[in-house]
């Protein structure tokens, strides 16, 4: 990243920039109506733009005025995508200045609807598509990307997009959205970000029949051919973009765990659904303990859902509890899971491998209600994708068992949430410590207003990525996510907790990301995982490479 910024400064006076309509069509260089008089002369723009020169502030005003007139969130999403496609700097200025408004549009929940409609909304391609037919030429495809100093790649195969399932190439909206958050939340330069979709087909029959579907019209590739394509892609990334962090995103359980295990010690990579979700949830639990005056090691945590997110959270909680002095057996005994067949226990047959170490010796419970009554959990975490699974009876039972029940409805998008914020507060007699995966508006009950926390991975992965980039870490470790969770929890203010909010305000996200980045980089230096020499002032070094959406001067 430092190299990117330094290069931009050193070549500003020497580079032959595109002229005329060419520079207006380059989103990384375009300033729209903000080109100065001198720039209009030097770049042959005279007459191609309206005569009045607008400041960037005035341009933001125009964007926000139109944004707030849009009748639906999906139309707002389309407007922002169009802005990003023509003026990247202005797009990030708008997003950073209005993150509370923009986050639900450029990411969850609106991005879910946008992915479902992705081919229907398609205007301009963004990212790299690698298909099952590209075997043997993946590196060549990556070299078609116009930017050479790529530092973060987010890749999906589209099989498990949020809680919406197999969306094939329509899932490209997820890597694009995630990388927008890397820039907006942690200041990673847009030119250093590359979204990738591995198009291996889709098993979604409605997409295969859709004339506007943008991907291969075939069933999903499985087995050795699938693994060979992924392996060629990973190898090509190391060759073409050797400094890149590779983030796996929205892969199905059948591939997510094994791909993480296969590559985590070979390259610089992580899976956000497993590790990022785990870290933000652990941070939420730490904050909840500040409200309840409890300790993590005294909690009994029951999960609804035993997929990537749930098991990833459980594993990180176990690491945190072991750090507090518990044995691995004692730590695992604090975490219990309910899946589609009931409580995960030892007596169950044909359990998936990733569930085995949380299969305890306990009587079988057929459903969530029975498990709650028998286990008496202090925290209930929903990662099931089952809307309204936390019923009034479930929440009331948790409130009867606990003075301050912890209820996290983390499934995305909003339509998949296990309960709403209002339901959690009302049904618990206003005693629930609540968090969700998608945002909910503040809830006012009898003149008291509660601000529900959003357990958004954007609190974690951008800061982790920034830390990895700052020190050029060789690998991303589970300990980095543990430290990221602690750093995030430590950024929650008492004033946040007083409102029921267990995560910092989004307006502080870049500040929080810098703190997380420092914790990650410090660990990398301590464990000798950093390829870059440690600066005298790590905090200043990290902040110095954070992108600011300010127009350059071309003359």
Over residues 354-388, the pLDDT tens digits come to: 999 999 999 999 999 999 999 999 999 999 999 99
Give the pLDDT confidence score for residue 4 in this predicted structure. Answer: 41
In the DSSP assignment, the letter for residue 354 is G
Place of tokens 């997380």: 516
Give the pLDDT confidence score for residue 490 in this predicted structure. Answer: 97
pLDDT at 512 over 90: yes
Q: Contact 345/313 with Cβ under 8 angstroms?
A: no
Q: What is the pTM of this model?
A: 0.94
- The pLDDT confidence band at residue 9, using thresholds 50, 70 and 90, is very low
3-state secondary structure of 411: coil
pLDDT in tens, 441-450: 999 999 999 9
Q: State which H helix or E strand residue 199 sits in.
A: strand 193-199
What's the rounded mean pLDDT across residues 274-296? 97
3-state secondary structure of 179: helix
What's the rounded mean pLDDT across residues 413-426? 96
Average pLDDT, the chain: 95
- The pLDDT confidence band at residue 163, using thresholds 50, 70 and 90, is confident
Give the pLDDT confidence score for residue 6 in this predicted structure. Answer: 33
In the DSSP assignment, the letter for residue 133 is G
Q: Contact 328/318 with Cβ under 8 angstroms?
A: yes
Give the pLDDT confidence score for residue 296 in this predicted structure. Answer: 97
What's the rounded mean pLDDT across residues 523-542? 98
Place of tokens 């629930």: 432
Q: Contact 330/357 with Cβ under 8 angstroms?
A: no
Distance between CA 463 and CA 488 in Å, rounded?
10
Cβ neighbours for 356, distance < 8 A, ≥ 6 positions apart: none
pLDDT in tens, 314-332: 999 999 999 999 999 999 9
Which residues are marked as active site?
Answer: 107, 178
In the DSSP assignment, the letter for residue 191 is G
- pLDDT > 70: percent of the chain: 97
Give the pLDDT confidence score for residue 7 in this predicted structure. Answer: 35
Distance between CA 330 and CA 187 in Å, rounded?
40
What's the rounded mean pLDDT across residues 427-431? 97
Q: Which domains does the chain have, with CATH numbers?
A: 55-267 (3.40.50.10380), 275-458 (3.40.50.720)
Give the pLDDT confidence score for residue 1 in this predicted structure. Answer: 41
Q: State which H helix or E strand residue 468 sits in.
A: helix 461-471
Q: Contact 409/436 with Cβ under 8 angstroms?
A: yes
Place of tokens 């909206």: 173
What's the rounded mean pLDDT across residues 279-299? 97
pLDDT at 13 over 60: no
Give the pLDDT confidence score for residue 2 in this predicted structure. Answer: 40
pLDDT in tens, 37-57: 999 999 999 999 999 999 999
Two tokens, residue 80: 């922002």
What's the rounded mean pLDDT across residues 194-199? 98
pLDDT at 430 over 50: yes
CA 197 to chain centre: 16
Give the pLDDT confidence score for residue 16 in this predicted structure. Answer: 84
pLDDT at 519 over 60: yes
Give the pLDDT confidence score for residue 396 in this predicted structure. Answer: 98
What's the rounded mean pLDDT across residues 221-226? 97
pLDDT at 419 over 60: yes
pLDDT in tens, 94-137: 999 999 999 999 999 999 999 999 999 999 999 999 999 999 99
- pLDDT > 90: percent of the chain: 95
CA 509 to chain centre: 13
pLDDT in tens, 234-275: 999 999 999 999 999 999 999 999 999 999 999 999 999 999
pLDDT at 493 over 70: yes
Distance between CA 32 and CA 14 in Å, rounded?
22
Give the pLDDT confidence score for residue 550 in this predicted structure. Answer: 97
């Amino acid at each position: 990243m430092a190299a990117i910024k330094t290069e931009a400064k050193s070549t500003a006076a020497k580079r032959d920039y595109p002229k005329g309509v060419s520079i207006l069509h380059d989103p990384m260089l375009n300033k729209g109506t903000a080109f100065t008089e001198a720039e209009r002369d030097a770049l042959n723009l005279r007459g191609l733009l309206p005569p009045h020169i607008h400041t960037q502030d005035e341009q933001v005003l125009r964007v926000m005025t139109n944004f707030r007139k849009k009748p639906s969130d999906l139309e707002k999403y389309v407007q922002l995508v169009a802005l990003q496609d023509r003026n990247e700097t202005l797009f990030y200025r708008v997003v950073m200045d209005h993150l509370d408004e923009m986050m639900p549009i450029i990411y969850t929940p609106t991005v879910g609807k946008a992915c479902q409609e992705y081919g229907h909304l398609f205007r301009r391609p963004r990212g790299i598509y690698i298909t099952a037919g590209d075997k043997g030429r993946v590196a060549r495809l990556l070299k078609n990307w116009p930017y050479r100093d790529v530092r973060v790649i987010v890749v999906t195969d589209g099989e498990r997009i949020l809680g919406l399932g197999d969306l094939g190439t329509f899932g490209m909206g997820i890597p694009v959205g995630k990388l927008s958050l890397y820039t907006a939340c942690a200041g990673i330069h847009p030119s250093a970000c590359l979204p990738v979709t591995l198009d291996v087909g889709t098993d979604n029959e409605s997409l295969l029949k859709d004339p506007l579907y943008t991907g291969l019209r075939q069933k999903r590739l499985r087995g050795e051919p699938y693994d060979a394509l992924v392996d060629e892609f990973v190898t090509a990334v190391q060759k073409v973009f050797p400094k890149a962090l590779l983030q796996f995103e929205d892969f199905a359980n059948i591939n997510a765990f094994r791909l993480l295990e296969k590559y985590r010690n070979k390259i610089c990579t992580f899976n956000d659904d497993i590790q990022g979700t785990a870290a933000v949830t652990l941070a939420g639990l730490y904050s909840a303990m500040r409200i309840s005056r409890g300790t993590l090691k005294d909690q009994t945590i029951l999960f609804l859902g035993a997929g990537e997110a749930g098991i990833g959270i459980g594993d990180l909680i176990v690491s945190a509890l072991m750090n507090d002095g518990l044995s691995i057996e004692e730590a695992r005994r604090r975490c219990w899971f309910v899946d589609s067949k009931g409580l995960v226990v030892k007596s169950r047959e044909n359990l998936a491998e990733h569930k085995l170490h949380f299969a305890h010796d306990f009587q079988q419970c057929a459903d969530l209600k029975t498990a709650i009554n028998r286990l008496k959990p202090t925290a209930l975490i929903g990662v099931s994708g089952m809307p309204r699974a936390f019923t009034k009876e479930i929440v009331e039972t948790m409130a009867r068992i606990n003075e301050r029940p912890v209820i996290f409805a983390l499934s995305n998008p909003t339509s998949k949430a296990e309960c709403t914020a209002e339901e959690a507060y009302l049904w618990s007699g206003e005693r629930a410590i609540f968090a969700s995966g998608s945002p909910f508006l503040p809830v006012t009950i009898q003149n008291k207003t509660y601000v529900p926390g959003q357990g958004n991975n954007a609190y974690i992965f951008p800061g982790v990525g920034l830390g990895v980039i700052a020190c050029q870490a060789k690998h991303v470790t589970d300990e980095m996510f543990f430290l990221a969770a602690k750093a995030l929890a430590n950024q929650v203010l008492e004033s946040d907790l007083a409102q029921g909010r267990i995560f910092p305000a989004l307006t502080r996200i870049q500040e929080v990301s810098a703190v997380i980045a420092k914790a990650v980089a410090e660990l990398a230096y301590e464990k000798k995982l950093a390829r870059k020499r440690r600066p005298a002032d790590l905090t200043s070094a990290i902040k110095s490479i954070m992108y600011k959406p300010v127009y350059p001067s071309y003359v």
